[in-house]
C-alpha cells in the first residue's frame, strides 16, 4: 500500500489536530458561577437531553450541517473532475526520441535548466502522463475508463517500452527507464510500431445491420505525441493516419550550434606501412565561423593538436511545403495552421589530416577542444566531439609455398610486399606434416599438393591453418554422419568462368571473363556444408572457399598451368587479395570505425573461448556480457548504441592488432557517431511529415482536475463546524 | 440567583424600615382567616364572648348564668329573660419565620434583606396592635462572627412573646443579629418550630422554597397545629430571568454541587418553564393544605407587599 498524497494529509492533520485540541480545551474552560440552587438547572439540562432527538429534528443548524456533510461525502463518492479539454483522443502514443542529439545540454528559451534534452523530453512526457484522465475508483461498475497511452522510444530503431495501458505508474516507469543512446534518428520504425499496436478500427453498425449514416471510424482516436528536437531525417516518410492527431513537442533550443566529427579514417601507406594517416572530417552547424582545436591522442597520450577554421553554416533557400494541406483526407493540425517547414541548414565543413609514423597497432582518439583563450564550452552536444579509430599494425604476411616448381606463382609472389616467402618441396612438407608440425607461416600455398591424410586433418581434409590450394581438391575421409563438403569428380574438358562473387574480398576488383580453362576439374559442393562456391564455370564451381573450424582455405581446383589465368592481370590481384583475406582482417592497410547502430562482426583467432564484451564506460548497459563465437570464430554483437570503445576479450591466441591484458586477449572496437545529420543539433520548431507539417505545440499539459479531495476537505471542515456549534449550543 | 456581590447588612430598625414605610404600616392590623382564641386581652375581636363594649348577640337565660348580663329592657318588653352577649377582644399570635440558609443570600436586591424587611414590617404591625409576635430564623449564622465557616449554623433561633410597641427594637435587633449561611434541613427545622410553638395564630414563612429534599414534609408539619400559615416565596429577579451566558460551571451555594451548562436559548426557556412549574406545584400544594402563598420578587417595595399583597390575602386589614 502506498500513500500517494501523504504530505497533503500530514499538512491537513497538522492544522486540524491542534484546532481540535484547542476547541476541546475551550470546551473545558467553563466559568464558575455561584447560584442559589442548581435544582432547576439540572432538571432543565436533563429535560433538554431527554428531548434531544426531537430537538435535532427541529429546524436547526445542526441538521442542516449534517445534511451538508452527507451531501459532500456523496459528491466525493461521485468523483467530480474538472474537464480541461486538452485532449480529444482517448488513446495516446508517446514517441520519445532518445537519439544522440537528445544528449545536447541546451535549454529552451527562457529556461536555465542545464539538463539534457532527453531529460526535458521525459519531463514533458511525464507531464503528459500526469494529465491523462484516470479511470474512476469504481470504473468496473460505472464503465468509466480512463485514457490509455503507450510509450515508444526510438533512435534509429524503436522499441515499445510500454504498450497501451491506463496505469500511470507503469507509464511513468517506462518513460523514466528510457536511456540515452548515441545512435542517429529514424522515426519510421517508431511510427510503424505505433500503428501496429493501435487497435483495429471497426465500422460500427446499427442493430439492423445497416451502416451508420456517416460511417465514421468508431475506433478510438489516437493522439501521437512526438517528443523530439525535430532532427528526424526520415520524418517526411512517415504518415500518420488521417484521423489521428499528431502533436509535436519540440525539445531544445533552435539556436544551438554544434561542431562535430563526421568522419574518421586511419590509413597506412601501401608502400611504407609505418606511415599512418588519420583523416578527420569536421562539420560546423553554427551560423558563425568557428575555430577549433583538434587533439589527437594515441594510447592515452597527446600526439598532436591542430587548429582548424570552420566556415559558418548557411541556410538554403526556403522550400515549398511537401503536401498541400487542403488535400481533403489530411486534416491540418489544430493550432498550427501556418506551420511551415524549416529551410534546411547547410553546415560548414572542414577536415584535418594527422600523419604519424607508428608500426604497431594503435587506438587513436580525436577530440575537439575550444581554442586556447576561449573559456566557453565548445558546444552543447558532446557526443560527436570525440571519435576513436583503431589503426592496424604495419605488418606483412609470412607466406609459405609448397610446390614442385611453378614459374607463374613464384614470379607473382615475388612482386607482393610480403614479410617472408618460404618455399617447401612436397617431400619437405610431407615430412613436416608427418612429424605433426606445421610450417611457421601465416598462409600456406599448396600448388598441386595435398597434405598427407593423417589424423591431423579434419573434415575439410586440411590441417588447421590458412591455405590457398591450387590445382587440387582436398577430400577428407568421409563418414556417414559427417559427409565431406567437397567431392572431387575428376578432370574434364575446357571451360570458362561465367559467374563469380564480386563482393568477396578475394575476388574484389577483378574480372574473370577472359580466363579460359583448358582442363577443368569437376567439383561438387555439398549444399549446407561449410564450403561456398566463389566462382563458377558452366560445369560447376571453379573457386571454392572452405571454412571449417580452425581451417580456412580458398581452393582453386583446376590446374592454373593449363589455363590462361596466370597470364591475366586478375591472377596477381586475386593472389594478393586472397592472401590478404586469408591472412586476417587486421592486415588491411586501412580501417574505418564501426558506424553507430551497426551490428559488429569480429572474427577471432582459432580456439578463442570465454569471449566477453565490455561496452564503453559510463552507459547504463555497462555490464560485461558473454558472447559465444560461431564455429568459424566469428562473434556478432549489436546493434551498438553507444559511442566509445567496446572491448572484446577472450582466452586464446591473438590476431595481429590484438594485445594481451591480464592473461586475456583484448581487441578494441571503436564505435563513433559520425552522422552529419545528427551532428546538426539545432532544434526545429516544426516537423515535416509526409502528409502535413506539424508545428511544435507549446504550453504545459493540463489534465482533468479531480475534485473529490477538495470535497472531502470541505466535508471535514463542515464536520468541525458542526462540532463547534454543537458544543456552543448544548449542555453538560 | 447569583450570590449578592456586595451587601450592607442591616444593624438596626432604621436600616430595615424607613419612617415613611412605618407611616404607611401604622393603620394596618393583623387578621386571620380563622379566628383564634387569644391568651391576653388584645385589640383583636375574639370568637369568645367577652367583656368588651361591642354587642354580639342575645340568648335565652338558663339557670346559672350571670345575672349581670340579663338584658332587662327585653325582659320589660317580652317578659322573658335573655342574656346580652358581648364580643371579647383578644390578642393574636403572629409568628414570622425566615429562611436564612445560604441560598437566601443571593440576588440583587438581596433576598434575605428583603425577607428581613418584610418580617420587620409584619412584626411592627403586630407589635403596634398589641399582638403577640414571635420570630424564628431557620439556619443562619451569627452576624457577629466574622468567619462564616467556623461558626456552626443553628437549626432554628427564636424570639418569643413580644408584645407592645416597646419591643419593636428587640425584634429589629433579633432580625439583624443573624446573617444567612449554611444548609437548611427544612423538615428538621419545621419539626422544631411545630414542637416549640404554643397556642394558635398566624405564621408567615419567608423562603425561596428551593429545598432539594422537598418542602412538602416540612409544610405538612407546620400546618397541622391550628396555625394560619402564609407562605411568602421570595425570588430574586436574577432567578426569574437569569443573566448568564456562555459555558458555565454552576455551583450550588449551599452544598457546592456543580452543574456544567452551556447556556442557550432553549436551555433558558426550559429553565423558566421549570421554574414556573415549580412555583405552580408549590401553590397547588399550599392550596390543598389550606395555606396561602404569595410569590414576590425581591425588588418589590416592602410596603407594596405588606399593604397590598398580604392585605389582599387577608393577613392584614
Average confidence score pLDDT of chain A: 78
CA A398 to chain centre: 41
Whether residue B248 and residue A44 make contact (CB cut-off 8 A), yes or no, is no
* A32–B259 C-beta distance less than 8 A: no
Q: Is the pLDDT assigned to residue A142 strictly greater than 70? A: no
pLDDT tier at A732, thresholds 50, 70, 90: very low
Q: How far is B215 from chain A (nearest CA, A)?
A: 13
Considering the domain architecture, whether residues B191 and B69 belong to the same structural domain is answered as no
CATH class for the region spanning A259-317+331-391: mainly beta
- Residue A131's φ and ψ, nearest 5 degrees, are -85, -5
CA A351 and chain centroid, separation: 28
pLDDT attached to residue A657:
72
Give the CATH number for residue B155.
3.40.50.410
Please report, in angstroms and rounded to a whole number, the separation of the first and last CA atoms in chain A: 43
Set of cell numbers at residue B272: 423558566
Task: Name every chain B residue with its beta carbon within 8 A of the beta carbon of A39.
Answer: 210, 212
Per DSSP bridges, beta strands A31-35 and B246-252 are parallel
Distance CA A485, CA A546 (A): 8
Task: A268-271: list long-range contacts, CB under 8 Å, 24+ apart.
Answer: A268/A391, A268/A392, A268/A394, A268/A589, A268/A590, A269/A589, A270/A417, A270/A589, A271/A417
Q: What is the pLDDT of residue B225?
A: 66
Contact B252 A29 (CB under 8 A): no
pLDDT at B232 over 90: yes
Task: Name which of B105, B234, B247, B297 to mutate to probe chain A: the one with the most chain A Cβ atoms within 10 A of its Cβ.
Answer: B247
- Range with the poorest average pLDDT among A287-296, A297-306, A719-728, B202-211: A719-728
Q: Which of A115-119, B134-138, B308-312 has the highest mean pLDDT?
A: B134-138
Q: Does the pLDDT of residue A1 top 50, yes or no?
A: no
- For residues A557 and A488, the answer to whether their CB atoms sit within 8 Å is yes
Q: Which three cell numbers stand for residue A327?
A: 488535400
What SS3 class is residue A406? coil
Q: Does domain A85-199+219-255+681-706 have CATH number 3.40.50.410?
A: yes
CA pair distance B276, A95, nearest whole angstrom: 85
Residue A318 binned pLDDT confidence (cut-offs 50, 70, 90): very low
CB A506 within 8 A of CB A492: no
Give A80's pLDDT tier (boundaries 50, 70, 90). low
Kindly report, residue by residue over B49-84, the tens digit of the pLDDT.
566 666 778 888 888 888 888 889 999 999 999 988
Q: What gap in Å lies between CA A71 and CA A75, rounded to an integer?
A: 6
Contact B247 A42 (CB under 8 A): no
In the predicted model, what is the mean pLDDT of residues A13-39? 71
Is B261 in Cβ contact with A55 (below 8 Å)?
no
A426, burial (CB in 10 Å: exposed 0-12, middle 13-18, buried 19+): middle
More confident residue, B39 or B190: B190
Same domain, B84 and B97: no
Q: What is the pLDDT of residues A345-404, one digit of tens each?
A: 788 888 899 998 887 778 889 999 888 877 677 788 888 888 988 887 776 778 889 988
Domain count, chain B: 2
Position B283 scores a pLDDT of 93
Give residue A323's pLDDT. 42
Q: What is the pLDDT of residue A471?
A: 87
pLDDT for A643 equals: 85
- State the average pLDDT over residues A110-130: 80
Domain that holds residue B51: 42-90
Mean pLDDT calculated for residue range A6-34? 67
Q: Does the structure show a pLDDT above 70 at A582?
A: yes
| pLDDT value at A138 more than 90 | no
State pLDDT tens for residues A583-626. Answer: 764 344 556 677 787 888 888 887 788 898 888 887 666 678 88
What percentage of chain A carries pLDDT values higher than 70? 77
pLDDT of residue A153: 92
Chain B residue closest in CA terms to A49: B267
Query: What pLDDT does residue A579 have?
Result: 86
CA distance A521 to A100: 55
Spell out the SS3 assignment of A419-488: CEEEEECHHHHHHHHHCCCCCCCCEEEEECCCCCCCCCCCCCCCCCEEEEEECCCCCCCCCCCCCCCEEE
> Could you give the C-alpha distances from A321 to A686, A706, A726, B257, in angstroms and in order?
12, 42, 73, 97
Establish if B7 belongs to a structural domain.
Answer: no
In a domain, B8, yes or no: no
Q: Which pLDDT value is given to residue A7? A: 62
Within this chain, do residues B52 and B150 fall inside the same structural domain, yes or no?
no
The CA distance from A722 to the nearest CA of chain B, in Å, is 16
* Distance, CA of A55 to CA of A53 (rounded, Å): 5
Mean pLDDT for B267-287 is 91
Q: What is the pLDDT of residue A324?
A: 41
Tell me the residues of B at the A interface, defined by beta carbons under 8 Å apart: 1-3, 103-104, 106-107, 111, 208, 210, 212, 236, 239, 244, 246-254, 257-262, 264, 266-267, 270-271, 274-275, 278
**What residues of A are in contact with residue B111 (Cβ under 8 Å)?**
36
Res. A111: pLDDT tops 60: no
Compare CB distances from A36 to B106, B244, B258 and report the shortest one's residue: B106
Closest CA to B171 of B184, B155, B160: B160
Query: Is pLDDT at B96 greater than 50 in this prediction?
Result: yes
Q: Same domain, yes or no, for B158 and B201?
A: yes
- Indicate whether B62 and B129 sit together in one domain: no
CA separation for the pair A87, A244 (Å, rounded): 12
Closest CA to A384 of A292, A255, A304: A292
Is B162 part of any domain? yes
**In Å, how far are A190, A378, B285 from A371, measured between CA atoms?**
40, 9, 119
| Average pLDDT rounded to a whole number, residues A455-483 | 74
Helix/strand/coil (H, E, C) string of chain B? Answer: CEECCCCCCCCCHHHHCCHHHHHHHCCCCECCCCCCCCCCEEEEEEEEECCCCCEEEEEECCCCCCHHHECHHHHHHHCCCEEEEEEEEECCEEEEEEECCHHHCECCCCHHHHHHHHHHHHHHHHHHCCCEEEEEEECCEECCCCCCCCCCCCCEEEEEEECCHHHHHHHHHHHHHEECCCCCCHHHHHHHHHHHCCCCEEEEEEECCCCCCCCHHHHHHHHCCCEEEEEEEEECHHHHCCCCCEEEEEEECCCCCEEEEEECHHHHHHHHHHHHHHHHHHHHHHHHCCCEEEEEECCCCHHHHHHHHHHHHCCEC
DSSP helix/strand/coil, A322: coil
Cell, residue B276: 414556573
Inside any domain, residue B279: yes
**For residue A326, what pLDDT band results from cuts at 50, 70 and 90?**
very low
What is the average pLDDT across A496-520?
88
Q: To the nearest whole number, what is the mean pLDDT of chain B?
A: 82
Domain end (from B90, B123, B158): B90
**Can you tell me the distance from the alpha carbon of A648 to that of A665, in angstroms, rounded to the nearest whole number?**
8
Max mean pLDDT range (A647-656, A679-688, B277-286): B277-286
Please tell me whether residues B154 and B301 are part of one structural domain. Answer: yes
**What is the rounded distance in angstroms from the CA atom of residue B10 to the CA atom of residue B119?**
13
pLDDT computed for residue A179 by the predictor? 87
Q: Does B31 share its domain with B59?
A: no
- Between A649 and A218, the higher pLDDT residue: A649
pLDDT, tens only, A47-78: 776 655 544 444 456 666 777 777 777 776 66
End-to-end CA distance of chain B: 33
Most B-contacting residue of A25, A26, A36, A50 (CB-CB within 10 A), to test interface: A36
Averaged over A22-47, what is the pLDDT?
75
The mean per-residue pLDDT over the stretch B236-246 comes to 86
The yes-or-no verdict on residue A681 having pLDDT over 80 is: yes
Greater confidence (B1 vs A179) lies with A179
Sign for the CA dihedral angle at B170, B172, B174, B176 comes to negative
Do A85-199+219-255+681-706 and A259-317+331-391 have matching folds?
Answer: no
pLDDT in tens, A153-188: 998 889 898 888 888 889 999 999 998 888 888 888
Contacts of residue B3 in chain A, CB cutoff 8 Å? 34-36
Are B283 and B225 in the same domain?
yes
Say whether both B79 and B103 belong to one domain. no
Q: How many CB atoms lie within 10 A of CB A635?
A: 20
Q: What is the pLDDT of residue A6?
A: 56
Q: How far from the centroid of its chain's Cα atoms is residue A416's Cα?
A: 43
DSSP A316: P
Give every CB contact of residue A429 below 8 A, 6+ residues apart in sequence.
A402, A439, A449, A451
C-alpha cell at A337: 495552421
In 3D, which of A204, A240, A236, A205 has the Cα closest to residue A222? Answer: A240
| CATH class of segment(s) A597-672 | mainly beta
Q: Which residue has the higher pLDDT, A706 or B157?
A: B157
Nearest one of B35, B129, B46, B28 to B90, comparing CA atoms:
B46
Contact B261 A732 (CB under 8 A): yes
pLDDT of residue B141: 79
pLDDT value of position A252: 82
CA distance A151 to A194: 9
CA distance B167 to chain A (A): 33
State whether B54 and B110 are in the same domain. Answer: no
SS3 category, A249? strand
pLDDT at B33: 59
- Look at residue A210 in the predicted model and tell me its pLDDT: 46
Average pLDDT over residues B4-26: 81
| CB-CB under 8 Å, B239 with A44 | no
- Residues A347 and A285: their CA atoms lie apart, in Å, by 5
Ordered by start, the domain boundaries in chain A are 36-80+708-732, 85-199+219-255+681-706, 259-317+331-391, 398-476+485-587, 597-672
pLDDT confidence of residue A265: 85
pLDDT score of B250 more than 70: yes
DSSP A267-315: EE-SS-TTEEEEEEEEEE-SSS-EEEEEEEEETTEEEEEEEEEEPPPEE
Q: pLDDT at residue B148 above 60?
A: no
B120 and B66 fall within a common domain: no
> Given an 8 Å threshold on Cβ–Cβ distance, is A35 in contact with B212?
no
Q: pLDDT-derived band of residue A672, with 50, 70 and 90 as boundaries?
A: confident
Lowest average pLDDT, out of A319-323, A351-355, A726-730, B8-12, goes to A319-323
Are residues B283 and B177 both part of a single domain? yes
Task: Give the CATH class of A398-476+485-587.
Answer: alpha beta
Amino acid at each position: 500500500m502506498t500513500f500517494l498524497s501523504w504530505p497533503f494529509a500530514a499538512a491537513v492533520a497538522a492544522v486540524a489536530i491542534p484546532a481540535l485540541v484547542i476547541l476541546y480545551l475551550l470546551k473545558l474552560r467553563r466559568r464558575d458561577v455561584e447560584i442559589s440552587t442548581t435544582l432547576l438547572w439540572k432538571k432543565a439540562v436533563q429535560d433538554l437531553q431527554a428531548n434531544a432527538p426531537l430537538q435535532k429534528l427541529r429546524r436547526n443548524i445542526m441538521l442542516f450541517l449534517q445534511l451538508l456533510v452527507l451531501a459532500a461525502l456523496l459528491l466525493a463518492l461521485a468523483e467530480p473532475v474538472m474537464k480541461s479539454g486538452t485532449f480529444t483522443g482517448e488513446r495516446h502514443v508517446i514517441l520519445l526520441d532518445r537519439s544522440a542529439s537528445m544528449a545536447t545540454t541546451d535549454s529552451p528559451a527562457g529556461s536555465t535548466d542545464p539538463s539534457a534534452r532527453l531529460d526535458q523530453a521525459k519531463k514533458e512526457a511525464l507531464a503528459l502522463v500526469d494529465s491523462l484522465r484516470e479511470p474512476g475508483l469504481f470504473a468496473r461498475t460505472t464503465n468509466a475508463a480512463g485514457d490509455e497511452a503507450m510509450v515508444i522510444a526510438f533512435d534509429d530503431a524503436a522499441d515499445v517500452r510500454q504498450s497501451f495501458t491506463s496505469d500511470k505508474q507503469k507509464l511513468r516507469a517506462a518513460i523514466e527507464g528510457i536511456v540515452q543512446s548515441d545512435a542517429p534518428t529514424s522515426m519510421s520504425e517508431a511510427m510503424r510500431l505505433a500503428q501496429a499496436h493501435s487497435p483495429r478500427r471497426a465500422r460500427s453498425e446499427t442493430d439492423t445491420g445497416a451502416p451508420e449514416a456517416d460511417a465514421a471510424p468508431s475506433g478510438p482516436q489516437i493522439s501521437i505525441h512526438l517528443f523530439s528536437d525535430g532532427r528526424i531525417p526520415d520524418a517526411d516518410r512517415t504518415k500518420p493516419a488521417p484521423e489521428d492527431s499528431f502533436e509535436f513537442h519540440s525539445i531544445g533550443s533552435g539556436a544551438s550550434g554544434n561542431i562535430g566529427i563526421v568522419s574518421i579514417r586511419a590509413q597506412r601507406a601501401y608502400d611504407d606501412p609505418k606511415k599512418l594517416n588519420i583523416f578527420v572530417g569536421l562539420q560546423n552547424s553554427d551560423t558563425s565561423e568557428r575555430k577549433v582545436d583538434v587533439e589527437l591522442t594515441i594510447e592515452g597520450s597527446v600526439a598532436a593538436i591542430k587548429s582548424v577554421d570552420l566556415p559558418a553554416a548557411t541556410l538554403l533557400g526556403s522550400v515549398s511545403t511537401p503536401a498541400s494541406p487542403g488535400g481533403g483526407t489530411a486534416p491540418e493540425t489544430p493550432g498550427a495552421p501556418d506551420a511551415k517547414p524549416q529551410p534546411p541548414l547547410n553546415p560548414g565543413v572542414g577536415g584535418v589530416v594527422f600523419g604519424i609514423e607508428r608500426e604497431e597497432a594503435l587506438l587513436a582518439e580525436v577530440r575537439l577542444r575550444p581554442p586556447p583563450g576561449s573559456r566557453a564550452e565548445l558546444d552543447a552536444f558532446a557526443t560527436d566531439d570525440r571519435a576513436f579509430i583503431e589503426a592496424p599494425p604495419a605488418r606483412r604476411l609470412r607466406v609459405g609455398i609448397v610446390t614442385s616448381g611453378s614459374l607463374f606463382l613464384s614470379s607473382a609472389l615475388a612482386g607482393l610486399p610480403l614479410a617472408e616467402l618460404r618455399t617447401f618441396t612436397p617431400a619437405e612438407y610431407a615430412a613436416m606434416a608427418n612429424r605433426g608440425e606445421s610450417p611457421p607461416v601465416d598462409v600456406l600455398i599448396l600448388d598441386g599438393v595435398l597434405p598427407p591424410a593423417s589424423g591431423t586433418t579434419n573434415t575439410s581434409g586440411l590441417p588447421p591453418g590458412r591455405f590457398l590450394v591450387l590445382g587440387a581438391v582436398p577430400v577428407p575421409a568421409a563418414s556417414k554422419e559427417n559427409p565431406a563438403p567437397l567431392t572431387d569428380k575428376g578432370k574434364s574438358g575446357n571451360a570458362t568462368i561465367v559467374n563469380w562473387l564480386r563482393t568477396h574480398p578475394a575476388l574484389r576488383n577483378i574480372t574473370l571473363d577472359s580466363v579460359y580453362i583448358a582442363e577443368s576439374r569437376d567439383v561438387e559442393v555439398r549444399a549446407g556444408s561449410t564450403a561456398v562456391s566463389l566462382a563458377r564455370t558452366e560445369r560447376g564451381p571453379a573457386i571454392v572457399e572452405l571454412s571449417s573450424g580452425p581451417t580456412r582455405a580458398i581452393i582453386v581446383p583446376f590446374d592454373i598451368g593449363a589455363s590462361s589465368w596466370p597470364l591475366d592481370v586478375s591472377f596477381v590481384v586475386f593472389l594478393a587479395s586472397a592472401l590478404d583475406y586469408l591472412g586476417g582482417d587486421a592486415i588491411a592497410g586501412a580501417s574505418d570505425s564501426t558506424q553507430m547502430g551497426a551490428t559488429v562482426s569480429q572474427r577471432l583467432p582459432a580456439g578463442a573461448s570465454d569471449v566477453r564484451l565490455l561496452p564503453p564506460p559510463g552507459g547504463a548497459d555497462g555490464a560485461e556480457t558473454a558472447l559465444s563465437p560461431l564455429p568459424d570464430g566469428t562473434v556478432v554483437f549489436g546493434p551498438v548504441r553507444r559511442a566509445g570503445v567496446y572491448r572484446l576479450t577472450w582466452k586464446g591466441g591473438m590476431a595481429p592488432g590484438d594485445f594481451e591484458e591480464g592473461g586475456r586477449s583484448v581487441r578494441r572496437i571503436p564505435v563513433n557517431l559520425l552522422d552529419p545529420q545528427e551532428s546538426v543539433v539545432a532544434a526545429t520548431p516544426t516537423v515535416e511529415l509526409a502528409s502535413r507539417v506539424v508545428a511544435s505545440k507549446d504550453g504545459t499539459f493540463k489534465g482533468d482536475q479531480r475534485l473529490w479531495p477538495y470535497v472531502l476537505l470541505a466535508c471535514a471542515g463542515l464536520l468541525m463546524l458542526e462540532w463547534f456549534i454543537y458544543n456552543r449550543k448544548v449542555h453538560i | 440567583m447569583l450570590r449578592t456581590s456586595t451587601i450592607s447588612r442591616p444593624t438596626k430598625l432604621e436600616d430595615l424600615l424607613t419612617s415613611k414605610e412605618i407611616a404607611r404600616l401604622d393603620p394596618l392590623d393583623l387578621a386571620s382567616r380563622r379566628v383564634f382564641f387569644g391568651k391576653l386581652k388584645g385589640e383583636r375581636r375574639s370568637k369568645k364572648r367577652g367583656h368588651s363594649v361591642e354587642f354580639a348577640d342575645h340568648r335565652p337565660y338558663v339557670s346559672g348564668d350571670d345575672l349581670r348580663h340579663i338584658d332587662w329592657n327585653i325582659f320589660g318588653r317580652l317578659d322573658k329573660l335573655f342574656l346580652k352577649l358581648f364580643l371579647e377582644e383578644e390578642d393574636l399570635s403572629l409568628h414570622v419565620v425566615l429562611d436564612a440558609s445560604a441560598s437566601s443570600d443571593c440576588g440583587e436586591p438581596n433576598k434575605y434583606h428583603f425577607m428581613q424587611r418584610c418580617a420587620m414590617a409584619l412584626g411592627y404591625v403586630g407589635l403596634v396592635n398589641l399582638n403577640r409576635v414571635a420570630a424564628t430564623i431557620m439556619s443562619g449564622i451569627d452576624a457577629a462572627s466574622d468567619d462564616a465557616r467556623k461558626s456552626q449554623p443553628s437549626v432554628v433561633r427564636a424570639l418569643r412573646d413580644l408584645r407592645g410597641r416597646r419591643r419593636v427594637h428587640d425584634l429589629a435587633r433579633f432580625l439583624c443579629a443573624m446573617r444567612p449561611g449554611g444548609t437548611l434541613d427544612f423538615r428538621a427545622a419545621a419539626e422544631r418550630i411545630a414542637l416549640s410553638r404554643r397556642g394558635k395564630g398566624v405564621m408567615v414563612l419567608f423562603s425561596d422554597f428551593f429545598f432539594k429534599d422537598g418542602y412538602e414534609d416540612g409544610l405538612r408539619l407546620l400546618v397541622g397545629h391550628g396555625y394560619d400559615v402564609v407562605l411568602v416565596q421570595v425570588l430574586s429577579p436574577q432567578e426569574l430571568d437569569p443573566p448568564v451566558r456562555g459555558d458555565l460551571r454552576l455551583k450550588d451555594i449551599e452544598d457546592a454541587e456543580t452543574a456544567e451548562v452551556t447556556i442557550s436559548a432553549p436551555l433558558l426557556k426550559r429553565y423558566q418553564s421549570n421554574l414556573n412549574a415549580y412555583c405552580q406545584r408549590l401553590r397547588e400544594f399550599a392550596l390543598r393544605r389550606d395555606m396561602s402563598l404569595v410569590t414576590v420578587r425581591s425588588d418589590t417595595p416592602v410596603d407594596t407587599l405588606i399593604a397590598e399583597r398580604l392585605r389582599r390575602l387577608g393577613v392584614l386589614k
